[in-house]
């Protein structure tokens, strides 16, 4: 099979993927609308809008850069005549990863994938470490007690962890869909439809009992399934690279993960000590306590960023280099077009 490095939304299997995306995006909302009050619907709408703003701002540029890098590798593989060997991922997904695929051809792709996954993981961990402890403060300061005294803070706290799953899923599926061939995309999209059906069933069970919080939990379970599938595909794809390891090459350093766990515990402790019973505080007292809580977060964030500069410096350098190369490639393409226009005018 030849490599199909076209983004799946533009491939011949895009209609199936669009159905899956529609079922995922709209089906859960229908469940919430039919089983919960308007207040719970408003809570989820507010939280999902805040979360999607973060996702679009931070993660979408990285996903686009990642897909460009993966697709470029695919185009080069096709040009060199090695596409058939390079895209045999698994018989259950597309075909078994070809044993003849050379490490020299796969190594550059692994080096491109590794910093991208680590970068989105770090950004997602930031949301997961700070979001739960600062959800109440954000909602009360920005939207007032109308929303802060509902279940919105708890839903936003859960959504903060969900952002990490969204980030990992986005970059994982960008890779898988860039390297799968046509048959692989068909099978992948069919499996995603199965995941969506399971997701809707879980939604019905959890939304009935937990409302908007149950919907976030169901969405998280769906992301875990999709991430697991992408991880399986990635491991199969790189199995001819003996040195490749999912946890070593795709996860941040152990010291980084430990630091995030400590920060999450520290911010939760600060929230408990400074804002326990915040609903009954006067506005002035709340602002004073909230300022102290935010100050703790600023100190922890500064310390965490200082550690990240040391432990993940290579990742940051690689991501910046990829983005720089992409921008330069875009400028060269634009400049080439301008030169062609000028040449035509001269002729």
The candidate with the shortest Cα–Cα distance to 27, out of 271, 197, 185, 255, is 197
- For 108-112, which contacts have Cβ atoms below 8 Å and span 24 or more sequence positions? 108/73, 109/70, 109/73, 109/179, 110/238, 110/241, 110/244, 110/249, 111/318, 112/66, 112/69, 112/70, 112/73, 112/322
What is the per-residue pLDDT for 247? Answer: 86
User: Which residues does 266 contact at the CB level (< 8 Å), separation at least 6?
Assistant: 296, 300
* SS3 category, 149: coil
48 and 158 Cβ atoms separated by less than 8 Å: no
Mean pLDDT of 335-340: 52
Structure tokens at 41: 């619907």
Mean pLDDT of 70-97: 49
Note if the pTM is more than 0.95: no
Mean pLDDT of 273-294: 92
Residues 101-119: tens digit of each pLDDT = 456 678 878 888 888 898 8
Residues 247-277: tens digit of each pLDDT = 888 888 899 999 999 999 999 999 999 999 8
Mean pLDDT of 5-12: 37
The candidate with the shortest Cα–Cα distance to 130, out of 31, 65, 54, 30, is 54
Structure tokens at 109: 């792709």
Residues 233-247: tens digit of each pLDDT = 998 888 888 888 888
Rounded Cα distance, 342 and 347, in Å: 9
What is the per-residue pLDDT for 257? Answer: 93
């Amino acid at each position: 099979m030849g490599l199909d490095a076209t983004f799946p939304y533009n491939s011949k299997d895009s209609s199936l993927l669009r159905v899956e995306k529609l079922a995922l995006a709209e089906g859960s909302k229908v469940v919430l609308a039919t089983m919960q009050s308007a207040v719970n619907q408003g809570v989820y709408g507010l939280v999902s809008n805040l979360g999607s703003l973060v996702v679009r701002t931070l993660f979408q540029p990285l996903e686009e850069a990642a897909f460009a890098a993966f697709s470029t590798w695919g185009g080069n593989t096709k040009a060199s005549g090695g596409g058939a060997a390079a895209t045999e991922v698994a018989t259950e997904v597309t075909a078994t990863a070809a044993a003849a695929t050379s490490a020299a051809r796969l190594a550059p792709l692994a080096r491109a994938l590794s910093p991208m996954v680590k970068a989105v993981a770090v950004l997602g961990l930031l949301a997961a470490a700070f979001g739960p402890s600062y959800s109440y403060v954000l909602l009360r300061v920005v939207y007032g007690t109308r929303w802060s005294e509902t279940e919105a803070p708890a839903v936003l706290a859960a959504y903060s962890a969900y952002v990490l799953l969204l980030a990992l899923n986005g970059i994982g599926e960008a890779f898988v869909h860039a390297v799968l061939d046509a048959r692989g995309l068909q099978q992948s999209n069919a499996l995603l439809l199965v995941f969506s059906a399971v997701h809707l069933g879980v939604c019905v069970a959890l939304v009935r009992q937990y409302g908007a919080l149950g919907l976030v939990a169901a969405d998280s379970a769906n992301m875990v399934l999709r991430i697991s599938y992408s991880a399986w595909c990635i491991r199969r794809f790189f199995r001819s690279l003996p040195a490749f390891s999912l946890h070593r090459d795709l996860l941040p350093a152990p010291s980084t993960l430990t630091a995030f766990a400590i920060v999450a515990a520290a911010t939760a402790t600060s929230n408990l000590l400074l804002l326990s019973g915040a609903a009954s505080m006067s506005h002035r007292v709340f602002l004073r306590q909230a300022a102290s809580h935010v100050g703790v977060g600023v100190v922890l964030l500064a310390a965490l960023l200082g550690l990240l500069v040391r432990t993940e410096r290579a990742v940051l350098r690689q991501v910046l280099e990829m983005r720089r190369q992409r921008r330069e490639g875009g400028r060269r393409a634009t400049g080439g077009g301008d030169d062609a226009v000028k040449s035509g005018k001269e002729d």
